[in-house]
Structure 1
Amino acid sequence: MSMQNLDVERSIWIAAPRERVWQAITDSEQIAQWFLPGALGAHMKRDDTGKISVQMGEMAIDYAILDVVDPPRQVISRSLPDKLISTIYKLEEEKDGTRITVTLTGFESLPEDARNERFEPSGTAWEQALENLKAHIDGTERPFPYTSVASLCGYWRETGEQIAVERSIWIAAPCERVWRAITDPEQVEKWFSPGTQWSGTGPQVGGRLYVAGPDNTEMYVQVIELVEPPHRYVTRTQVEPPEKPEVTDWKLQEENGGTRLTLTYISYQLDSAQRGMMEQHAIGFGMMLENVQAHVEGKPLPYPGGF
């Protein structure tokens, strides 16, 4: 990490020509082989605009825009949907092989705590990913088959007590409009689970948001912890001890005539199974924010089946 510009930077030497390494970091089918966990069963596709999508069965999830700056020396990957975090790949010829340096940038736009909690997991993940890239090019087995994609993309936050994934999106609407979309049960239904009715007490501390079940039961209950309209809204899951609740922290900030909506999902369970679930949440929340954006802007939902 550079203390001047707050980037995460990692590098590795690979015994292969630069053109071969370039192919491995720009060809979508090859990226999937060293970047994605094998257990995910997914592959990648790149279209004519440079957009890379993760293909999981019949579902396609937009992942990044690949901007070829100087082939075969430099390419930049910008995360979707927010484009806040960029990954810069630089390739240099060195000792009959190639030195590849990866720099994760964009952390300077984040609050200090959000930056600090990303540096270590992102740095570790890129050390592992570059070893996987080297193995892919060498034709050997990947040493790290379960590298955290959320950390590679800069979505993962971690302290000694909690893990979290954080996603954001810019919406062409005032904060007040976005606030209603995430706090009004009728609007939550439209972008989160079309056809499944949500109910609630309204945005008040101690209130609840839930789906009405049979026999007047409440399902998928979210208990409201903090209400600061129209800028912050915090809920937690309702669980039975000793299970620990998970927290959803929404932040709304005016930006460029619209709203920057940031979602932080926090878990206090640090076991491997929960980490795997959080990896899936990192992808799902990006999709969910795209639905919120489309709903607020009056456009068709990109994921009409909901979540």
Structure 2
Amino acid sequence: MHVLDRIERKILLNASRKKVWDALTDAEQFGQWFGIALKGKAFAEGETVEAPITYPGYEHVIWKARIERILPQTLFSFRWHPFAVDDTIDYDKENPTLVEFTIEDHAPGILLRVVESGFNEIPDARRQKAFKMNSRGWDEQMGNIENFLK
């Protein structure tokens, strides 16, 4: 079965641009809605951030992301290994996918778009599952950020 190389989701958020931006790029806020214990952490370009996942059933997993770009109030991106939940696999031997969040004004709110690309680089053995799980995950995360900003 052919798996697409990218997942794309978008949501119109009823919040100010600054509030949406802070929810994405303030590590502690990001952790609250995304489900990662990022208290005391910060995001900086070129840095790798590691923290335990707090999402039920995945507490044994360490979230690890390399922050790529932070373009103020516009773009926040990082690289990670999608659905990296098996502690017997060395995911560092794989190419990570790229997650890009972009925000733009879209009356009456802010349009948040997330694109995760690079699934064609994931080993065949886990590509389909990673794509499927992250497709579902992004659906859920769009609802999570919306609820967080209410």
With structure 2 as the length reference, what TM-score do the two structures score?
0.75
4+ runs deviating over 4 angstroms: none
Alignment of 1:158-307 (within 5 A): 158=4, 163-193=5-35, 197-199=37-39, 202-211=42-51, 219-237=62-80, 239-241=91-93, 243-266=94-117, 267=119, 268-269=121-122, 271=124, 273-297=126-150
Letter in 1 for 2:23: A
Gaps of 5+ in 1: 1-145, 149-155, 298-307
The 2-side partners of 1:169 and 1:201 are apart by 26
Q: How far 1:231 moved relative to its partner?
A: 0.9
Structural mapping, 1:112-151, within 5 Å:
none
Q: Output the CA distance in 1 between the equivalents of 2:79 and 2:37.
A: 19
Which one has the largest radius of gyration? 1
Structure 1 CA distance for aligned equivalents of residues 62 and 104 of structure 2:
31
Larger relative contact order, structure 1 or 2 (CA cutoff 8 Å, min sep 6): 2
Amino acid at match of 1:210: E
Q: CA deviation at 1:185?
A: 2.1
Residue identity matched to 1:207? E
Note the residue ranges of structure 2 that are not aligned, 5 or more in a row. 54-60, 82-90
| Deviations 1:72-106 (CA, angstroms, capped at 9, x unpaired) | xxxxxxxxxxxxxxxxxxxxxxxxxxxxxxxxxxx
Between the aligned partners of 2:77 and 2:129, the Cα distance in structure 1 is 23
Q: Secondary structure of the residue that 1:173 maps to in structure 2?
A: coil
Q: What is the root-mean-square deviation of aligned Cα atoms in Å?
A: 2.7
User: Does the 8 Å CA contact 1:175/1:231 hold for their aligned counterparts?
Assistant: no
Normalising by structure 1, we get a TM-score of: 0.39
Distance 1:200 1:220, change over 3 A: farther
SS in structure 2 at match of 1:226: strand
Spell out the pairing of 1:15-54 with structure 2 (5 A cutoff): none
Give the counterpart letter for 2:66 in structure 1.
V
Identity of aligned residues (%): 20
Question: CA offset at residue 212 of structure 1?
Answer: 5.5
CA distance in 2, matches of 1:190, 1:251: 19
Distance 1:197 1:252, change over 3 A: same
